[in-house]
Structure 1
Amino acid sequence: MRSARLFERTRSRDLRREQTPAEAILWGKLRARRLGGFKFVRQEPIGPYFADFTCRDAGLIIEVDGATHSTDEERAYDARREAVLREAGYRVLRFSNDEIFKNLDGVCETILSALPPVPSPRETGRGLG
């Protein structure tokens, strides 16, 4: 079992190092709680798959699709993959590279609308007063 975790860790690191330009741009908006205060991680192993970006607290996965998601076979693979991720308790949002390059603000708004409202500091007991 230890070797399986080592493989996941190594593969996640490789995927992060080899991110696409679209993933790098979106990561710039998601990292360090920059989008609505939510923590996202990259290349999270979930079942046999690696999710591009995952917000564990919100149960949300963001997938960035290049041109390789256009054939019937590729779309069928994506559907099977999404079914496994949904079974693991996640919702999946997909964006094309083109959407990220041409409408990054719209992509971020769509992601924000899929996230739950963040409680105010007063609600969490961390506020002043």
Structure 2
Amino acid sequence: MKRKIIPYNPKLTALAKELRNNSTRTEIKLWNRLKRKQFYGYDFHRQKPLLDYIADFYCYELALVIEVDGYSHQLEETYLKDVKKQQALEAVGLSVLRFTDDEVWNEFESVLYRIEDFILKFEEGIGERL
């Protein structure tokens, strides 16, 4: 399958690097399970610029973005930005899984199960398209 390149705003690379260096504890917890192709052999990246946004986690093979939302994402202004971001990412063919900090911290196995479920369904779909 040919790799689909998602364009990004190069002005975001410095901010993405800063965010990688200042990850939240929940991002670190999830990253420790996703990094180095540990999770079903897929290559995830963290704080990845895509379009005019920075995705918390991104896997190009799965066309998947994973977002971890802290408390501020409950505020209406931030929530509306999240909706716009998700719509833009989906418009270029990406899927978005969204989790709260509480879910990652307190229901970690459920979070991993939802990601696993996405991967298994994705892999089943590949077989149908070939």
TM-score, normalised via structure 2 length: 0.82
**2:18 equivalent to 1:17:** no
* Aligned-residue offset at 1:56: 0.6
Q: Which amino acid aligns with 1:23?
A: E
Other-structure match for 2:96:
92
Residue 49 of structure 2: which of 21, 45, 53 is its match? 45
* Aligned-residue offset at 1:9: 2.6
Counting matched residue pairs gives: 114
State the alpha-carbon separation in 2 of the partners of residues 32 and 79 from structure 1.
Answer: 30
Deviations 1:15-65 (A, max 9, x none): 100110000000000001111111100111111100000011111100000
Other-structure match for 2:78:
74
Other-structure match for 1:62:
66
Residue 123 of structure 2: which of 97, 101, 117 is its match? 117
Kept in 2, the 8 Å contact 1:52–1:62? The answer is yes
**2:42 equivalent to 1:32:** no
Kept in 2, the 8 Å contact 1:35–1:108? The answer is no
Q: Which amino acid aligns with 2:59?
A: C
Percent of residue pairs identical: 32
Q: Which runs of 5 or more residues in structure 2 are unaligned?
A: 1-8, 125-130
Q: Highest CA radius of gyration, 1 or 2?
A: 1
Please give the root-mean-square deviation of Cα atoms over the aligned residues, in Å.
1.4
* Aligned-residue offset at 1:72: 2.4
Deviations 1:42-92 (A, max 9, x none): 111111100000011111100000000112222211111111111121111
Q: Which amino acid aligns with 2:67?
A: E
Kept in 2, the 8 Å contact 1:32–1:39? The answer is yes
Q: Which runs of 5 or more residues in structure 1 are unaligned?
A: 119-129
